[in-house]
Amino acid sequence: MSGIRYRIIRRRVKYPRLEIWGNEIWIIVPGNVDPWRVVRQNREWLIRQIEIARRAAELSGKIELVPRTRRKFRSLIERVVQEYAEELGVEVNRIFVRRVKSAWGSCSGRGNITINAAAQWLPERLVRYIAYHEVCHLRRWRHDREFERLVREKFPDHEDLDLQLQAYWIKLREQDKACSKS
């Protein structure tokens, strides 16, 4: 990895925010906000996140993608999501597997769970972590203390799993770039 890249994204958002995607920082701001002011205000957080991104980039060179068919992946997702829904006492409406540009998964207010198709290439432990995270949103919508407690109870190593997810994100993006050049 040559370093951390950044992208300034101007959107119709009420509040500015910073997001880390693999080895890229997204500075998302409304049209009238200075993105560099947002960076200065969040300097300490950014420094910590850049160190995590550096570690993820290092790790991305050491990890292997898991070959799995779409059918087997879909079956795994459905089984795991239902298992966790029963465990947490929540009801899942529908499960989708789709290509998503900026997330491993999402949960809608209607109880639909979407898992990024790129997760097909992840080890089962990470697939389970993503699924559990999304099912937890059916109990707690926000990433508040209660939500974090739920995740930590099931996955006490969640910080390491987050690092691995960043590393796989980088690995998959690099692979996509290499395939598009050939």
Q: What is the CATH number of the domain that holds 161?
A: 3.30.2010.10
- Same domain for 153 and 123: yes
- Same domain for 161 and 79: yes
- Same domain for 86 and 42: no
- Same domain for 85 and 106: yes
- Same domain for 130 and 51: no
Assess if residue 141 is contained within a domain. yes
What length is written for the chain? 182
How many domains is the chain partitioned into structurally?
A: 2
- Same domain for 94 and 14: no
Q: Give the span between the Cα atoms of 73 and 50, in whole angstroms.
A: 32
Assess if residue 65 is contained within a domain. no
Amino acid at 22: G
User: What pLDDT shows up at residue 128?
Assistant: 98
At residue 63, the 3 state secondary structure works out as coil
- Same domain for 110 and 28: no
Show the domain range for 14.
5-60
Max CA-CA distance within the chain? 48
Among 36, 60, 84, the domain-final residue is 60
- Same domain for 83 and 171: yes
Q: Give the span between the Cα atoms of 145 and 132, in whole angstroms.
A: 16
User: What pLDDT shows up at residue 19?
Assistant: 86
Assess if residue 104 is contained within a domain. yes
Assess if residue 165 is contained within a domain. yes
Q: Please, are residues 60 and 171 in contact by the beta-carbon 8 Å criterion?
A: yes
User: What pLDDT shows up at residue 1?
Assistant: 38
Residues (pLDDT < 50) of the chain are 1-2
Q: Give the span between the Cα atoms of 53 and 166, in whole angstroms.
A: 7
Model confidence pLDDT, tens digit, residues 86-102? 999 999 999 999 999 88
